[in-house]
Amino acid sequence: MEDDELQKIWKSVDSEINEKSRGELNLLLTSKAKQTLKELIILDIIAIPICVGVMVWLIVSSINRPDDKLYLANNILLGIFILIALVYCIWYWTKFQRNKFNLSTKDWLEERINLLSIWLTGRFRKLEFYLFPLIFILTDFSIHVYYTNLYFKEVFISDKFLEEDMWGMIIFTPILLAGGFYGLIKIRKYHMKRLEFLKDLHSRLCNVR
């Protein structure tokens, strides 16, 4: 009876499943859950080397512009935001990677569902939506000012900026920000669907007798 109920659970998530023993189904459950969790944290894994790369840029560019106090202030503020994002990504990634071998499959899955729920519905759920525009704008300033070979305050009153660069920022910055927010919203909706999928699996497993 227990094996039949497990078969029904897996037929709902894999139409190609064949008759399997309880042990084989438990292994399949673990594999399915790990695959889904990897899909959910893939952006965090990608974000880590990107954050490290930006930090390297900030250090190198600041060393080369030691006399520009406003430029250094911009880079320091950007570095703080990048560091927050980096710590956030690493913390969740290490939490998901940590395995407790004495946990059953159901308890293992429940632990990760709780972590995902904190990430997606907790008080820091909108953190990336706040950090994204700040990081985008400050990064744009950092790169743009660095390659003009002018001091930070001189860049925004220069003829080139007023006649050319300013209009590019006015036109393209809102478009790029809107595209970024659209992507973040789509990713969040996808993550929420996968979280509900995992919750459903866990709920069905808990009902197995």
Task: Quote the CA–CA distance of 115 and 109 in Å, as a whole number.
Answer: 10
Q: What is the mean pLDDT of the chain?
A: 81
Report the pLDDT averaged over residues 173-187.
93
Residue by residue, DSSP assigns 19-76 as ---HHHHHHHHHHHHHHHHHHHHHHHHHHHHHHHHHHHHHHHHHHH-TT-HHHHHHHH
For residues 194, 197, 202 and 206, what is the CA-based torsion angle, rounded to 10 degrees?
Answer: 170
Mean pLDDT value across residues 135-139: 94
What the block records as the tokens of 95 is 């939490």
Compute the average pLDDT of residues 157-163: 86
Label each residue of 112-179 as H, E or C. Answer: HHHHHHHHHHCCCCCHHHHHHHHHHHHHHHHHHHHHHCCCHHHHCCCHHHHHHHHHHHHHHHHHHHHH
Q: How many other C-beta atoms are found inside a 10 Å radius of the C-beta of residue 198?
A: 20
pTM of the model: 0.77
Q: What percent of the chain has pLDDT over 70?
A: 80
Task: Note whether 86 and 58 are within 8 A (CB).
Answer: no
Dihedral sign for Cα atoms in the order 207, 122, 129, 39: negative
pLDDT score, position 132:
92
pLDDT at 41 over 70: yes
